[in-house]
Amino acid sequence: MKVIVVGVNHAGTSAIRTLIAQNKEVKIVGYDRNDNTSFLGCGIALTVGGDVDDINKLFYSNPEKLAESGAIIKINHDVIGIDYKAQIVKVKNLETNEIIEDSYDKLIYAAGSWPIEIPGIAEEKRSLENIEICKIFQHAKELIKKGECSEIKTVAVVGSGYIGIELAEAYQKKGKKVTLVDFESRILPRYFDTEFTAEMENDLVESGITLALGEKVLDFEGQDGKVKKIITDKGSYDADLVIQCIGFTPNTQLLPDADKVVNGAIIVDKYMKTNLPNIYAIGDSNAMYHAAFKTNVQIALATNAVKSGIVAASNINGVDAIKIDSVVGTNAICVFGNNLASTGISEESAKRFDVNYATSYVEDNDKPEFMPEYTKVKLKLVYDKDTLRLLGAQVGSRGESHTEVIYYLALAIQQNLSLFDLAFTDVYFLPHFNKPFNFVLLAIMEALGLDYYKK
């Protein structure tokens, strides 16, 4: 059996490793248009800010290692066409411009996603020097170099999602004057509600970062071929460096006949199979079933990418027990002392998608007050108003992190558990770690009207 893997970063690398681990006889050919593989882009901001001292440490594999294990890896090779009926791919060698065809028995599509650039800006403005995007190793090297450049004194980060906020913190650490711009009225609106974002926004401002929220970028201004300002619908901001972090679009144009969700991500089943014969889609290219929304959704996270690669490879090798029935988009961020994690859907998302929901929010100390040290923890639950089925959760603290509690809340959403199920989970109490009524139980009691613990 011959398997072609299109794209060899997180998802593709995971699939190749799994294929070989389970079946030494399978023939694998991996194509990637980049000149490197297996780069952890989530560490870019940490390297820009100086927490990671060497960008090369963010590689956890490479083409040579994969080749040593038995795969044929061809970097600088761009797959430019897929004939799923004939089971043939057309590939361009980017070094020689030679175009070849290659056949497969099974194809794993792991072409990933690409950063979206700010729309509506003329090409001559887009081509100004020091306007960047953030995704791959080459981008990382540029962003690090510009962070060290003394001529770059002002930085505008467009997009207040995870990548944007992490980069804003990184350049602030490097002594740059940073402006964070977003057309949304607050930061991280997809993941966290105001109970969590308000404090982080205050921390950003106190650090010296300018927040330009509720503003749409309309244009860039340049001087001597370099960007100098960004223009929004409400003002202008100095910017020797502009980084566009407004989102990603899945690279799925090679499979026009695949069933897709609105943003173009390919719909897959629990084995990562598409509607096209013998083709699997993994990583940022796909849309898996979301347990809270009850429909397929693209969730571009490295964790999902790696797991989807394992599942697709296992199914190809006949291991049907390995599957992903659902995902819930579990995520976390750590900036300016804020330790936050979320899973499922937020209250704002529930409103946006007309979900019949209710919420419970509590703030409490993590340990008994008789202990020498304790930390305030925030927890919010979003649940179905009628059935009490858990739909989402958010947790935050400063200093000591309690983000790992999100793991069992994510599992609860995936398993369609209710607040009653969670309330009687067999958890421990030890003053060193928690209270008899820990903060999760307090939020459940709040939802059920059993708020006597407040008295």
Catalytic residues: 10, 42
What's the mean pLDDT in 68-94?
97
pLDDT surpasses 70 at 454: no
Question: Tokens representing 286?
Answer: 């796909």
203 pLDDT band, cuts 50/70/90, is very high
pLDDT surpasses 80 at 117: yes
**pLDDT at res. 10:** 95
The reported pTM is 0.95
399 pLDDT band, cuts 50/70/90, is confident
Name the H helices within 328-385. 347-352
In the chain, what percentage of residues exceed pLDDT 90? 98
State the amino acid at position 5 in one-letter form.
V
**pLDDT at res. 449:** 87
Average pLDDT, the chain: 96
What's the mean pLDDT in 57-73?
94
pLDDT in tens, 37-49: 999 999 999 999 9
pLDDT in tens, 307-361: 999 999 999 999 999 999 999 999 999 999 999 999 999 999 999 999 999 999 9
Residue ranges and CATH numbers for the domains of the chain are 2-33+76-114+248-316 (3.50.50.60), 123-244 (3.50.50.60), 337-454 (3.30.390.30)
Place of tokens 């819930």: 328
Do 249 and 285 contact (CB within 8 A), yes or no? no
3-state secondary structure of 423: helix
What's the mean pLDDT in 261-279?
98
Between CA 246 and CA 117 the distance in angstroms is: 7
What's the mean pLDDT in 376-391?
97
